[in-house]
Amino acid sequence: MRRAIGIGLFVAALARPAFAQTEPPAAPPAAPSGAAMRELLDAAQATAKATRENLDYARVTPDLLYQILSKLDKIETKLDKIEDAVKRDTARSRR
């Protein structure tokens, strides 16, 4: 047990100077040039346009789906009426 503690202290004493060293401070980022700033602005505008189009699409899609579903309901109702009429006619012709 003493040996393990001694080895641990020895390793810690050797590693301490390595932990004391710090990295040099990072240089401040350079100011973007005019061309780079223009590219960033263009990218931001393209992103805003795509987001706007996506939101417009998201608003319109549920309305279209609702219209399609309501038309399908109307068609289904008409088909049910036709089916009931056909059943009545076949029942009358059997009598």
Q: Please write the tens of the pLDDT for every residue from 24-63.
A: 667 777 777 888 889 989 999 999 999 888 888 777 777 7
Gap between the Cα atoms of 90 and 95, Å rounded: 9
Check: CB of residue 32 under 8 Å from CB of residue 40: yes
Q: Does 68 map to a domain?
A: yes
pLDDT score for 80: 93
Q: Does 67 map to a domain?
A: yes
Identify the burial level of 3 via C-beta atoms within 10 angstroms of its C-beta, where 0-12 means exposed, 13-18 middle and 19 or more buried. exposed
pTM for this prediction: 0.39
Q: Does 70 map to a domain?
A: yes
Gap between the Cα atoms of 42 and 36, Å rounded: 10
Domain count across the chain: 1
Q: Does 42 map to a domain?
A: no
Residue 83, domain extent: 63-95
Q: Does 92 map to a domain?
A: yes
Look at the block and give the residue holding tokens 């009358």: 92
Q: Does 53 map to a domain?
A: no
Q: Does 84 map to a domain?
A: yes
